[in-house]
Amino acid sequence: MIKAGVIGSTGYAGSELVKLLHLHPHVASVTASSKSYAGQNYADVYPNFLGEFENTCADVDIEHLADECDVLFLSLPHGLASSMVTSSILERCVIIDLGADFRLKDADVYQKWYNTTHHSPALLEKSVYGLSEVNRQQIAESRLIANPGCYTTCSILSLYPLLKAGLIDKDSIIIDAKSGVSGAGRKAQLSLMFAEVNESVKAYGVTTHRHTPEIEQELSLAFSHGVSENEITLSFTPHLIPMSRGILTTSYASLLQGVKEEDVKKAYTDSYGEEKFIRLKPEGSFPETRFVKGSNYFDLSYIVDKRVNRLIVIGAIDNIMKGAAGQAVQNMNIVFGLPEESGLELLSSIPM
């Protein structure tokens, strides 16, 4: 049985982690740690835990928690994890970081896009990008797992098989992405208030969104079969949608000469046909966020626009589950040799 801890347990992803770990059949105990709510009953912060999980929130002391836990999940703003994690910590427990600090392999790229110093660049070579279906073997052998972002999970899984199989023009990729408001985290901010978001859709982070280099890094590895990290440059535009949770990405790419629709089908089937949490939709059926909400599933479909020889790929995930907490638990299951679906066998409720 696993002893787990969550640092940053009172954010949206953190609370989802606490719920999943509390109900996990192979987790013996959960320590919920929070700087803002240390000493308070967790059920006072999230009343949905009343009568189920009423532990007192522990202070943020990673040295102590590393001695008490087998695995620590860090659900923190960027810049904090790299100042907390050390080689000594990794010798005592597994770290699964839901933030951005260990996702990018180049500290200079991280510092450019996140406008902050990386405090432990030497650990970047030890980190494994925790996209479960792509890096399963490396995850199983790692002590430091960089859980992917929500936009990136949906975008990379949508395109990875196509670049790996060499079916699309790498210079033609455009990703149009849409997210629910919870993707911004649990914080008081004018632009996220109901009256500001409701009945409106807006693009943001146009050409500057921090998930862009993460997507480019991992798709470059697919294109070059792990040899290079700098092959892909793409256009990524996120949008804020007036809903609580969910990610929908629509990706566009030109097919290379001679590529047929059956080649595309084979690429996806070969890569994802046996995956528990990837659902390839029937022809003519397209993903909707409501069908993955509250689950760890990634739904995907595609269509070839023969008129312009362009492939359109549509993917959907729950940004807090497969885009954060669900995938983090999936990675924990891989590390500890458990069935990947343990604690994650959840379906969306309709209506929800």
CATH of the domain at 116: 3.40.50.720
Tell me, yes or no, whether 176 and 117 share the same domain: no
What's residue 349's pLDDT? 84
184 with 219, same domain: the answer is yes
| Residue range of the domain that includes 258 | 151-319
Residues 155 and 267 both lie in one domain: yes
- Say whether pLDDT at 184 is over 80: no
Query: In this structure, is residue 331 part of a structural domain?
Result: no
pLDDT of amino acid 182 = 82
Residue 286 has pLDDT above 90, yes or no: yes
Same domain, 41 and 101: yes
Quick one: pLDDT at residue 21? 98
The pLDDT value given to residue 352: 65
Same domain, 107 and 199: no
How many angstroms separate the CA atoms of 238 and 180, rounded? Answer: 11
0.85 exceeded by pTM: yes
Considering only residues 190 and 326, tell me which one the structure prediction assigns the higher pLDDT. 326
Residues 213 and 263 in one domain: yes
Whether the pLDDT of residue 60 is over 80: the answer is: yes
- Rounded to an integer, the average pLDDT of 181-202 is 80
- Specify the pairing of strand 247-254 against strand 310-317: antiparallel
pLDDT at 230: 63
**Is residue 149 within 8 Å of 249, Cβ to Cβ?**
no
Q: Stretch 190-218: mean pLDDT, rounded?
A: 89
In this model, does residue 195 exceed pLDDT 80? no
Total domains in the chain come to 2
Residue 342 forms part of a structural domain:
no
Rounded Cα distance, 30 and 18, in Å: 7
- Whether residue 352 lies inside any domain: the answer is no
Mean pLDDT of 252-266: 96
Look at residue 207 and tell me whether its pLDDT is greater than 90: yes
pLDDT for the residue 351: 77
Q: What is the pLDDT of residues 117-160, one digit of tens each?
A: 999 999 999 999 999 999 999 999 999 999 999 999 999 999 99
Are 269 and 224 members of one domain? yes
Nearest to 145 by CA among 225, 137, 186: 137
**Which residue in 239, 237, 314 sits closest to 281, CA to CA?**
314
Mean pLDDT value of segment 196-203: 88
Confidence of residue 65 (pLDDT cuts 50, 70, 90): very high
> What does the pLDDT read at residue 316?
98
Domain-located, residue 282:
yes
202 and 68 share a domain?
no
pLDDT tens string 332-344: 999 999 999 999 9
In whole angstroms, what is the distance from residue 149 CA to residue 183 CA?
10
Q: What pLDDT score does 229 carry?
A: 61
Residue 14 lies in a domain: yes
- Domain end marker among 126, 143, 178: 126
Q: Are residues 230 and 119 in the same domain?
A: no
Q: Report the CATH number that the domain containing residue 258 is assigned in CATH.
A: 3.30.360.10
Is residue 140 in some structural domain? no
**Do 110 and 167 have their domain in common?**
no
Per-residue confidence band for 43, with pLDDT thresholds at 50, 70 and 90: very high
Long-range contacts of 261-264 (CB under 8 A, 24+ apart): 261/304, 263/165, 263/167, 264/162, 264/167, 264/302, 264/304, 264/311
Whether 211 and 74 map to the same domain: the answer is no
Q: Could you tell me if residue 132 is inside a domain?
A: no
With a cut of 80, say whether residue 40 has pLDDT above it.
Answer: yes
Residue 348 counted as domain residue: no
Task: Tell me, yes or no, whether 104 and 189 share the same domain.
Answer: no
Return the percentage of the chain with pLDDT > 90, whole number: 88
Residues classed as catalytic: 150
pLDDT over 70 (residue 256): yes
Is the model's pLDDT at 228 over the cut of 90? Answer: no
